[in-house]
Chain A
Amino acid sequence: MPEATPTNTSTAVVEANALTFSYGTREVVNIEHFQLAAGESIAVIGPSGCGKTTFLHMLAGLLKPTSGRIHLLGSDITAMSDTELDHFRGQQVGMVFQRLLLMPALNVRQNVELAQQLARKPRDKARIDALLKQLSLVDFAQHKPRMLSQGQAQRVAIARALVHNPALVLADEPTSALDDEQAVQALTLLKETATSAGAALLVVTHDQRVRGQLDRELEMGLPT
């Protein structure tokens, strides 16, 4: 993208400056500076309504900030058109939500495949096989999502978020629906998979169990 910011470094996957977001007159996000490097992971922790999901949506290019700039791999995504953003997001961002939103009509392998296709990347069967193996999903590759346990489905969502080798992985409350054991397991898997792929990981959560699990933590309070 034409405009390069002065704080742009070679290791920063994502960088936000003077970022604000307002619903009408109510400002919910105000972040002076944020930066995340490749292979780095961060937990954004705060109560409901603190604007952490809005922050995540802005990083994903799903919401335009009211003011400020976001650079993803050096490109200013706030200046992109909708279609450019969709394509860019598809290629460079992987996302995991509390609601997994797997395609119910597709089996595990097809769900993972779909992310690769929508990222407009050449079909890479080896990558899919590797991920399914890494996430212990090989035996369930032909299963439809409704036949999977919560933990298995969670792993499919992780595989889908990483299959196209994104630079940035964004996770919104990935552990909230899981019990303690599963939550730790899921978070560990997410971190391992992302890090091993060289992706930057940002987890947004109010789940205190996430504390101490990732490289960095960012507290967000309720806006005043």
Chain B
Amino acid sequence: MTWVRLALANLTLSPLTTAVNVLLMALGTASIVLLLLAGFQLAQTMSRDAKDIDLVVGAQGSPVQLILSAVYHADIPPGNIKLAEAQRWMDDPRVARAIPLSLGDSFRGFRIVGTTPEYVELYNANLASGRLWSETMEAVVGSAVAGAARLGVGSTFAGAHGFVEGGHVHDTQPYRVVGVLAPTGTVLDRLVVTSLQSVWDIHDSDHDHDHDHDHDHDHDHDQHDDHDHEKHGHEEHADQKHGDDKDDHDHHGHEEHNNDAHTHKKHDDESHDHDEHAEHDHSDHGHDEHAHDGHDEHKHESHHHDGHSDEQHAHEEQEHHDHEKHADSDHDHDAHEHEHEHNNGHESHAHQTNEDTEITALLITYNSPLAATSLPRQINAAGALLAAAPAMEVARVLQLVGVGMTALNAFAWVLVATAALSIFAALYGSLRARRGELAMLRCLGATRSELSYYLIVEGLLLSVMGVTLGFLAGHVMMEGVAQWLASSRGVVMTGWLWVPTQTLLLLGLFLVGIISALIPATQAYRTDVARTLAEG
């Protein structure tokens, strides 16, 4: 205790040197601690998010991108895949669990994930309130989403197109929150989870909205006008309209067709019809998935033609008729619209599960680890899909990140080495000035060993102060980073944890402190008291 007190007192003699040494050591230590804590939590979070996901199947592209988008929701997906193609692998006997994900929209930067309740089970998430979704447009929100957006059971919100804020808002189709998840410490906390159907519905109307808003609505009208004016002319058109019996028939037929359409309730909206008609008229019958409604209509129509006139209609006439129909249908569609709004049908969902339905990715859990040897290779060999194992891709990403981490870590250790050198220099430099003092201590009864101990204690004190300050600063900085990440990215980290490696680090740094004092301590041990005193 005598020596610790004496060493402490000595350090106050040259406060500037002491401060510089302590700060140097603190700076290096803080950097190492920060990197250690961040790296540990990053790896921990990444492995927790990918827990029980053995394989991700998605569109072809970069495997890392697929993992980042489908598991960590930190990248845009490489594309979509056909559910029908994915189904083959979902049914594979080697697959214990396959969870489909459909991505595309977000809410205030939080991604909306269309999936099955199994996805929530994957992370062992519990409901903090409410229930899971059962109908379309019902959503369950993660704890971070609920907190950041102040959502609770019963709240509604509109998803936005894309993954960043500022995308087109689907405000006509709001989600309703039916459940809030308890925090899991995983990526799930930052997600909005809903049924696949909800995402598909939005996705479908997305197409229409896009057409409407972006360009197609006006464009279609122009097209029709062009046709009327250029190809057939107003007069001809008018003549046909008023004079021709066949046209009357056509009108009837057309009306009937309209009624048909009404009863079938197949029109989604106005522009939809325009597109279909246009396609029908000027190209082959549309094979576009949206076109088959129109296709049916025209079948009806042509049937009428056949029934009401003995002779085959000239192609021209038919065209006239079509154009006319378009002219009329401007009115009709108004009527349609009203009808359709009432009948925003459940039937329309039925056709969603057809072979063109798309998902973004499939999260697969193997039945046995053996599947890892065959399944990914088989999926990739099949060609259409990409299979990537999170563990492998994460290792690859961490390796890349690791290079930077290693460089930073090396730099931090250079700081520590500098601090150790600085402590050594301070102690060694003071030895000359303190030779008399050390000799006097021997006269007062101190042994050689005690003088060595005294110097080591002094070096160690500098290290302990620096390391303590550094650990404190490292944890505080980590907490700062965690707070910042939580507010900006919703990443769950903290500064208040103790990583086992830190204990080792602590001992290592103290060792550095002792080593820095070793040479001065040896010098002190060798002090020739008689000569030192005789030198005066």
Binding site for B on A (CB under 8 A): 53-54, 57, 60, 62-63, 82-83, 86-87, 89-91, 93, 95, 97-99, 101, 103-106, 110, 114-115, 117-120, 160, 172
Contact = CB atoms under 8 A, between A and B. Distances in A.
Closest 7 CB pairs of A and B: A90-B445, A105-B9, A101-B440, A118-B445, A118-B444, A86-B447, A57-B530
A54 B446 CA distance: 20
Interface in B383-442: 436-437, 439-442
A59 to B, nearest CB: 12
A90 B530 contact: no
Interface string B433-476: 00011011111111111000000000000000000000000000
A62 B447 CA distance: 12
A83 B440 CA distance: 16
Contacts of B444: 90, 95, 114-115, 118-119, 160
B2 interface: yes
Nearest to A144: B13
B447 A105 contact: no
A163 B492 CA distance: 63
B536 A98 contact: yes
B446 to A, nearest CB: 6
B441 A118 contact: yes
Contact of A118 (B446, B534, B536): B446
Nearest to A107: B9
B6 A99 contact: no
Contacts of B2: 114, 117-118
A109 to B, nearest CB: 13
Nearest to A83: B447
A114 B442 contact: no
B533 interface: yes
B448 A105 contact: no
A62 B444 CA distance: 11
A91 B441 CA distance: 13
Contacts of B12: 105
B439 A105 contact: no
Contacts of A106: 6, 9
A106 B444 CA distance: 15
Nearest to A103: B437
A172 B441 contact: no
A117 B441 CA distance: 11
B6 A89 contact: no
Given A86-B442, A101-B437, A118-B444, 11 more contacts: A54-B530, A62-B442, A62-B530, A83-B449, A86-B445, A93-B443, A103-B437, A104-B13, A115-B444, A118-B2, A120-B445
Contacts of A115: 444-445
B10 interface: yes
B72 to A, nearest CB: 56
B529 interface: yes
Contact of B443 (A95, A103, A117): A95
Contact of A105 (B10, B442, B443): B10
22 contacts: A53-B533, A54-B530, A57-B534, A60-B443, A62-B442, A62-B529, A62-B533, A83-B447, A83-B449, A86-B447, A93-B443, A95-B444, A99-B436, A99-B536, A104-B13, A105-B13, A106-B9, A114-B2, A114-B6, A114-B444, A118-B446, A119-B444
Given A106-B9, A114-B2, A89 B534 contact: no
Contacts of A57: 529-530, 533-534
A200 B429 CA distance: 39
Nearest to A170: B443
Chain B interface main SS type: helix
Among A90, A110, A119, max chain B CB count under 10 A is at A90
A97 B533 contact: yes
Contacts of A62: 442-443, 529-530, 533
Nearest to B442: A86
A149 B435 CA distance: 23
Kindly name the residue among B9, B13, B443, B448 whose own CB sees the greatest number of chain A CB atoms within 10 A: B443
Contacts of A95: 443-444
Nearest to A90: B445
A94 to B, nearest CB: 9
Contact of A101 (B9, B10, B436, B447): B436
A195 B133 CA distance: 99
Nearest to B529: A62
A115 B9 CA distance: 16
A90 B446 contact: yes
B534 A53 contact: yes
Nearest to A87: B445
Given A86-B445, A86-B447, A63 B530 contact: yes
Contacts of A172: 533
A60 B440 CA distance: 12
A101 to B, nearest CB: 4
Contacts of A89: 443, 445
B6 A86 contact: no
Nearest to B449: A83
Contacts of A60: 443
Choose among B13, B445, B530 the residue with the greatest number of A CB atoms under 10 Å from its CB. Answer: B445
Interface in B7-46: 9-10, 12-13
Contacts of A83: 447-449
Interface in B478-536: 529-530, 533-534, 536
Nearest to A93: B443
Contacts of A99: 436, 536
A160 B533 CA distance: 17
Interface string B166-193: 0000000000000000000000000000
B436 to A, nearest CB: 5
Nearest to B10: A105
Interface in B139-198: none
Contacts of B440: 97, 101, 103
A86 B446 contact: yes
Contact of B447 (A53, A54, A82, A103): A82
A81 to B, nearest CB: 10
B203 to A, nearest CB: 76
B474 to A, nearest CB: 31
B429 to A, nearest CB: 16
Contacts of B13: 104-105
Given A63-B530, A98-B536, A104-B13, A91 B445 contact: yes
A117 B6 CA distance: 12
Contacts of A82: 447-448
